[in-house]
Structure 1
Amino acid sequence: MIFSIKNKVATLALLTFLTSCSSDDDSQMASGNGEMELYFDNSVNGDNLILGASTYTNSNNETLKINRFNYIVSNFVLIKEDGTEVVYDKESSYFIISEEAQLNTINLENIPAGKYTKIRFGLGVDQQRYLQGETAQQSFWDLADANNMTWTWSTGYRFINFEGTFTAPTLTGEKTFQVHQGSNTATDNYREITVTLPNTARVRTNESPSVHFIADANKILDGNSKIKLSEAMNLAGTSASVMGGEKLMTIAGNTTSMFVVDHVHAGGAEH
């Protein structure tokens, strides 16, 4: 009996010691900065997005072959489990995701250690940044221009560049389409999006989580509101384009549901 009690006391002391050490280690690692990777996996209504090869039929009964799907994400805010918000450095917070250029990964650096449960970010370039002028953002402007994400400086950035060909029941043969979302003097089509992580992203000095986003290109035309490309044809009847007006505002609304987080890897990239 005495031996059994001694064993129990020793076991309890060991557990207390290990718990204390674990708590101390976690407290120590919770200080300092770490990194977080964001990986954007482009899809179409649950299927992998394959440029120029596969076709995708939406609920408008229009069949699309996508040749380009690029977009700008920006202004990242990481939200901890206690609601604390960590605003990523604005000067470094503009990125291009491009399926054709295989730009899919963003590395956020100098992130305060902590447990993160939500991420808020922008789709496009906010007016505050744009109004700082071309010189202030020359490096990103050049990158955007190289990836077909600009008009002229006076008309600004394309937030989304979505292009390809399509067929529709009301049309004969295959037509081209272009959807270019951006802001203009009449409307501000920059949108903020908040996603909830399915499991905690724990940032430590020695632990860099990878957050796996899925972006659904189908939401652009076939989201909460429906846009028919067949109703955006040019006068010659050869192509459809959406670059302004009410349709573009509708698309801007649709894009707020374009992103979800599929999973979070605790220790890095395993997409």
Structure 2
Amino acid sequence: MKKTFRNILIASLFSGLLVSCSNDDDTQQETIEGFGDAELFFDNGMAGDALILGGSKTNSNNETLTVNRLNYIISNVVLIEEDGTEYVYPKNESYFIISQEGDMHTVHLENIPAGDYTQVRFGIGVDELRYLEGETAQQEFWDYAAANNMTWTWSTGYRFINFEGTFTSENNSEPLQFQVHQGSNSATDNYREVTLNLPTTARVRVDEMPNIHIIADANTIVDGTNKIVLSENLNTAGTNASIMGGENLILIAENTQQMFTVDHVHNGGGSHQH
């Protein structure tokens, strides 16, 4: 009888332990639901240094650039979970301008499904589908872009990247102006997309907003995989280098796909501190 009672006691204790462990597991498992916000913070640099307008940097083409303007359009943002599930940010709200001269660095995204995101994808510029919707459909963003030096005329469209300044080289010791305006034209579509892996999962929660800190290396525009020598792109008067179309702009569009890297992800309750 004593042995039977002892066996029952042991069985009861073991059963209680299993229930306790099961309850602990249930308590620890997080329920992910609702919606939250996220931010992409674009930190502009120049070949490993912070980009300071008016500062100079010598690139591998042996040209010294003094950058006076760096503006670009970020669009069509998509957040991707580890299993490949994509959240496509609403297209009509998914066009933003990053401007060093305007101190505009943050893309704020609202009402994102709560989840753990491991990648981000975005476009550089304005895609053809959006542009072909016409000026009326995008009047608000067009006016905003025009106010930030990101448009030509409506018939020639948007500047996707506006990169300007002066440069010196072995061929010109006196500074000459340069202008690199990446955009699409009737001959080529220079809109590009970039997918970036996040070093840390971005946790979107009702009460937790991740900030994805992205480094944008402006040096890559002319000094990336494709080397664009500004002194070989002077106008007939020899007074400035202006690249706004042609084969070099296609090469530059390829370079800009390598322009962005994610430095870190800050999971917290507020905006990025910088």
The answer to whether the aligner puts 1:50 opposite 2:56 as a matched pair is: no
Query: Residue 257 in 1 paired to residue 258 in 2?
Result: yes
Q: Could you tell me how far apart the structure 1 residues matched to 2:113 and 2:166 are?
A: 45
User: 1:172 deviation in Å?
Assistant: 3.5
- The corresponding residue for 1:39 is 41
Q: Tell which deviates more after alignment, 166-175 or 153-162.
A: 166-175
Structure 2 distance, partners of 1:233, 1:10, is 82
Give 1:174's aligned residue.
175
The answer to whether structure 1 residue 230 and structure 2 residue 236 are counterparts is no
2:93 is matched with 92
Name the structure 2 match of 1:114. Answer: 115
1:135 counterpart residue number:
136
SS at match of 1:102: coil
Give secondary structure in 2 for the equivalent of 1:209: strand
Aligned length: 263
When the two structures are superposed, what TM-score results if normalisation uses the length of structure 2? 0.91
Q: Distance in 2 between matches of 1:42 and 1:191?
A: 19
Q: Aligned partner of 1:19: which letter?
A: D
Q: State the distance in 2 between where 1:14 and 1:168 align.
A: 73
Deviations 1:115-146 (A, max 9, x none): 10001110000000000000000000010000
Distance 1:8 1:39 in 2: 52
Question: Corresponding residue for 1:206?
Answer: 207
Change (3 A) 1:241 1:7: farther
Match of 1:270 in 2: 273
Q: Give the Cα separation in 1 of the matches to 2:43 and 2:14.
A: 52
Aligned to 2:163: 162
CA distance in 2, matches of 1:10, 1:35: 42
Q: Counterpart amino acid of 2:201?
A: T
**Distance between the aligned counterparts of 1:7 and 1:182, measured in 2?**
72
Deviation at 1:12, TM superposition (A): 7.8
Aligned partner of 2:5 in structure 1 is none
The equivalent residue for 2:3 is: none
Greater gyration radius: 2
- Cα distance, 1:31 vs structure 2: 1.1
Partner of 2:7: none
Matched to 1:199, the amino acid is T
Distance 1:9 1:62 in 2: 75
Alpha-carbon distance in 2 for matches of 1:110, 1:7: 47
CA-CA distance at 1:236 after TM superposition = 1.3
Aligned mates of 1:211, 1:92 — CA distance in 2? 19
The amino acid of 2:37's aligned partner reads E
Q: Does the residue aligned with 1:257 lie in a helix, a strand or coil?
A: coil
- Quote the Cα distance in structure 1 between the aligned partners of 2:13 and 2:220: 62
Within 5 A, what are the aligned runs for 1:188-207? 188-207=189-208
Gaps (5+ residues) in structure 1? none
Aligned counterpart in structure 2 of residue 21 of structure 1, from 22, 27, 32: 27
- Aligned-residue offset at 1:17: 3.5
Aligned CA distance change for structure 1 residues 12 and 49 (closer, same or farther; 3 Å)? farther
SS for the counterpart of 2:112 is: strand
C-alpha distance in 2 between matches for 1:139 and 1:154: 17
RMSD: 1.9
Distance in 1 between the 2:88 and 2:63 partners? Answer: 40
- Give runs of ≥4 in structure 1 deviating > 4 Å: 5-16
Cα distance in 2 for residues equivalent to 1:43 and 1:9: 60
* Residue type at the aligned position of 1:229: L
- Post-superposition offset of 1:21: 1.6
SS in 1 for 2:255: helix
Q: Quick one: which amino acid aligns to residue 267 of structure 2?
A: A
Deviations 1:218-248 (A, max 9, x none): 0000000100000111111111110000000
| Rounded Cα–Cα distance in structure 1 between residues aligned with 2:204 and 2:19 | 30
1:263 positional shift: 0.2
* TM-score, structure 1 normalization: 0.92
